[in-house]
Amino acid sequence: MQLSSNSSALRAFARIGWRRAAAEPLATAARGGLNVLALGIFWAFWRATPLAELRRPELTPERLIWYLAVTEWIVFSTGIPYREIEDDIRSGALATNLTRPIDYARACCAQWCGGIAFRLPIFALVGFVAALGLSGTVPIDPAMLLAGLASVLLALAILHLCHLMIGLATIWTGSAAPLHWIWQKGLFVLGGLIIPLSLYPAPFRRFAENSPFAAMLSAPASLALDPSPGHAIAVLRLQLIWLIVLAGMAWLTDRAAIARFLERGT
């Protein structure tokens, strides 16, 4: 009984997330425009790059733009959800939320899932049309689409767990923004947002490839560069490991943050 009422409450939060995302059509459109703009910038960027110097024929502007289309798809679908938790903590709304019978962190995650369900197909379409329009090709193996989609969903789950922890850090830091900047740049550099990790110098590449940031961006996007089944299995394994680790960390952070909030307030 408790389980079914919890799941219906979570579904209700997911619906709220969907409706909130749907209620901001202009912001979604602007974000879609930003996505296209980013792809346009990097299409010009990679075309101006002397890729022949690498002597790696698989790295063409066409493949690199599809790599970027996947990383941007994940980033733009996610947005900056930690801010909702930060606002709840700073405004004191967290206290009201804690009186609900449903766990605050789970309610947030359910709400974010609703928002993602709304934005993911939109940005998939935007990214697909933009990358196709720019490159004129789709260098993705259709047989790998399912693995690619599973990988993107795992990446989104990991990203949202990080946002949950960053948002909850407001309880200690007063503002989560500085922490987010650093995390975001970690995602940018170690996640290979723009440049595939295969171009990184060897020791740094190994470190980046095994980091959670790679599991969030580079791993799913690398399927556009290497669509072999062996690589797909390695990618999914890395993501599952980090999902479990970060879920545990998020659970611990949530317990500690709520305990501190109940004890001291904001």
Partner 1 sequence: MRYAWTLLRMSIGSAFARPIAALSAMLLMATNNFLFFITFVIYFRNFTSLKGWVREDLALLIGVCCWAFGLAVFLAGGFRDLATTIGSGGLDPYLGRPRHPLPALLFSQSIPSGLGDMGSALVFWTVLSHRGWADLPMLLLVGTLGAVVVAATATLLQCLAFWMPNSGLLSEELFQMFMMVAYYPEHPFGFAVRFVLLTVFPAGFVAMMPVEAVRDGDPRKLVACAMAALAYAGLAGWVFERGLRRYTSGSRIIELR
Residues that bind partner 1 (CB under 8 A): 24, 26-27, 30-31, 33-34, 37-38, 40-41, 44-45, 47-51, 53-54, 173-175, 177-179, 181-182, 184-186, 188-189, 193-195, 199-201, 204
- Return the number of the residue (34 or 234) whose C-beta is nearest partner 1: 34
Whole-angstrom Cα distance, residue 178 to residue 163?
Answer: 13
- Return the number of the residue (199 or 262) whose C-beta is nearest partner 1: 199
Nearest Cα residue to 219 out of 254, 190, 257: 190
Q: Which helix (H) or strand (E) holds 197?
A: none
- Return the number of the residue (23 or 125) whose C-beta is nearest partner 1: 23
With contact defined as beta carbons under 8 Å apart, do 168 and 254 qualify?
Answer: yes
Residue 90, CA distances (Å) to 103, 106, 180 in order: 19, 19, 16
Ramachandran angles phi, psi of 4, nearest 5°: -70, -35
Q: Cβ 46 to partner 1, closest distance in Å?
A: 9
Q: Which amino acid is at 120?
A: L
Q: Cβ 39 to partner 1, closest distance in Å?
A: 12
- Return the number of the residue (41 or 259) whose C-beta is nearest partner 1: 41
Q: Cβ 98 to partner 1, closest distance in Å?
A: 25
Q: Cβ 140 to partner 1, closest distance in Å?
A: 24
Residue 234, CA distances (Å) to 153, 204, 217, 246 in order: 16, 19, 14, 18
Q: What angle do CA 228, 215, 245 make, to 5 degrees?
A: 125
Q: Cβ 62 to partner 1, closest distance in Å?
A: 17
- Return the number of the residue (34 or 129) whose C-beta is nearest partner 1: 34
Residue 237, CA distances (Å) to 233, 234, 247, 249 in order: 6, 5, 15, 19
Which DSSP letter does residue 200 get? S
Q: Cβ 243 to partner 1, closest distance in Å?
A: 25
- Return the number of the residue (112 or 200) whose C-beta is nearest partner 1: 200
